[in-house]
Amino acid sequence: MDSRIEIKVTNPKKVDNVVHPKAAAASPAPSQPSVSSPSHGGQERRLLEEEGQSHSRRGGQQGRRLMNVMPSKNWVPWLIPAFVFANVLLFLISMFINNCPKNSGSCVARFLGRFSFQPMKENPLLGPSAATLEKMGALDVTKIVHEHQAWRMITCIWLHAGVFHILANMLSLVLIGIRLEQEFGFVRIGLVYLISGFGGSLMSSLFIQYGISVGASGALFGLLGSMLSELITNWTIYANKLAALLTLIFIIVINLAMGLLPHVDNFAHIGGFLSGFLLGFVFLIRPQFGYVSKKHVPPGYIVASSKPKHKPYQYVLWLVSLILLIAGLTVGMIMLLRGVNLNDRCSWCHYLSCVPTKSWSCKSQQAYCESIEYGNQLNLTCVSNGKTGNYSLSGENSSQIQQLCYKLCS
């Protein structure tokens, strides 16, 4: 598609950047070019107006032509589709490893063979067992802290608890991620996705230390957070900016409010959102309106009044966000590896993940186990489901034994 646009432009303002052609003999005297605003989609367009005097017999009418000096670049999205494919593939692999008919007598959709689902009372999302997800790399604070398996903070964002879970997350990823990758490219959006997912896992681990957790929700909320900060830091180049800001805030609030329901890890959502919000100031910064890159100026033209690439407030937001992000992730990891539970230091924070009402309770079902010690071996039997497990004793305290019991009964 031809990127040139024919348009009539009035005399440029003095504050606009001006690009003059160099003087040439016997050539029409060009007027001052002006810079056009970006499109409503936020795509960068630097447009140069070349005005010439016509000395022909037709009356010397002025002609103006708008040249696209820096055409908008739309990236071809491939990383987000690859992420979707990887998530679906890993879900199928987890179902294959789960092999419900071999381990349970009441599987859902048994005609699927080893891809059939765990009983609804065990997993209502139509998916594998908790033991399979843990084997695949689910977020498990006990293993991270005591067995140094920090890699679970990344692997857990590629796993999903069931069909309903993965359908909701992948649909959201396509709707949000494709447009962002088209505008900013796979490198920046890929980094926002992965670092936000890690940030969500970190906050979840600091507040929810029993059971396991899986899902890409933290990374998805990171993309939402980056959209908000991108709008703020590039505020001057957008049209209808206030309406876009209010709409985006409304969507974010609704999604965070859904996390107040029981059995939803809203701490992962909040951690991912905060990480993505800071990353947007770092990775998704755009040049200010009126900036003309010298490498995109046509040969024979000079920039008479050059604006800096970014505004001062953009540099301030970039620096502050980078410092806060690095400091937050570093301090959070140190606290996690030391076994800190932030609920002990914040008595009201648990309401950020679940608000109790008359319709539901936020209290986790208590797990009770009978324990027998044989030397350095510990045998636990869950009272509610009768499952047993043998564990090697290596200085476990009562809190760690309770975590083992909880996992055995879940």
What is the C-alpha to C-alpha distance for residues 326 and 321, in angstroms, rounded to an integer?
A: 9
What is the C-alpha to C-alpha distance for residues 67 and 285, in angstroms, rounded to an integer?
A: 25
Exposure pattern of 64-81 as b/e (b: 16+ CB <10 Å)? Answer: bebbbbbeeeebebebbe
Among candidates 74, 81, 220, 216, which has minimal Cα distance to 139?
216
Q: How large a percentage of the chain has pLDDT more than 90?
A: 45
* Confidence check: pLDDT of 23 > 50: no
Do residues 208 and 353 touch, judged by C-beta distance below 8 A? yes
User: How distant is the alpha carbon of residue 138 from its chain centre?
Assistant: 19
Do residues 12 and 33 touch, judged by C-beta distance below 8 A? yes
Residue 7: the pLDDT is: 38
Catalytic one among 160, 269, 275, 353? Answer: 269
Q: How many helices (DSSP H) and strands (DSSP E) are in the chain? A: 12, 7
Of 156 and 65, the structure prediction assigns the larger pLDDT to 156
For helices 217-233 and 241-258, the axis angle rounded to 10 degrees is 160
pTM over 0.85: no
What is the separation, in whole angstroms, between the first and last Cα of the chain? 58
What is the C-alpha to C-alpha distance for residues 21 and 29, in angstroms, rounded to an integer?
A: 9
Catalytic one among 34, 204, 217, 229? Answer: 217
Cβ neighbours of residue 354 closer than 8 Å, sequence gap 6 or more? 260, 261, 262, 264, 266, 362
Q: How large a percentage of the chain has pLDDT more than 70?
A: 74
Burial class (CB in 10 A: 0-12, 13-18, 19+), 151: exposed
What is the C-alpha to C-alpha distance for residues 34 and 405, in angstroms, rounded to an integer?
A: 71
- What band does 366 get if pLDDT is binned at 50, 70 and 90? low
- What band does 302 get if pLDDT is binned at 50, 70 and 90? low
| SS3 label, residue 48 | strand
What is the C-alpha to C-alpha distance for residues 322 and 76, in angstroms, rounded to an integer?
A: 28
Record the tokens describing residue 199, joined without a space: 């940030």
What is the C-alpha to C-alpha distance for residues 322 and 109, in angstroms, rounded to an integer?
A: 49
Confirm whether 263 is a catalytic residue: no
Cβ neighbours of residue 175 closer than 8 Å, sequence gap 6 or more? none
Of 174 and 72, the structure prediction assigns the larger pLDDT to 174
Q: pLDDT tens digits, residue range 40-89? A: 344 343 334 433 334 444 444 333 333 444 445 689 999 999 999 999 99
Of 295 and 334, the structure prediction assigns the larger pLDDT to 334
What is the C-alpha to C-alpha distance for residues 75 and 81, in angstroms, rounded to an integer?
A: 13
What is the C-alpha to C-alpha distance for residues 317 and 277, in angstroms, rounded to an integer?
A: 11
| Mean predicted confidence (pLDDT) in 10-23 | 46
Among candidates 94, 105, 175, 154, which has minimal Cα distance to 127?
94
What is the C-alpha to C-alpha distance for residues 220 and 202, in angstroms, rounded to an integer?
A: 15
Among candidates 270, 274, 78, which has minimal Cα distance to 190?
78
What is the C-alpha to C-alpha distance for residues 328 and 310, in angstroms, rounded to an integer?
A: 26
Confirm whether 269 is a catalytic residue: yes
* Residues in a beta bridge with 31: 51
Residue 278: the pLDDT is: 98
| Mean predicted confidence (pLDDT) in 222-244 | 91
Residue 399: the pLDDT is: 52
Q: Locate tokens 């230390």: which residue?
A: 209
* Confidence check: pLDDT of 17 > 50: no
| Mean predicted confidence (pLDDT) in 387-401 | 69
What is the C-alpha to C-alpha distance for residues 44 and 227, in angstroms, rounded to an integer?
A: 16
Among candidates 92, 86, 90, 285, which has minimal Cα distance to 194?
86
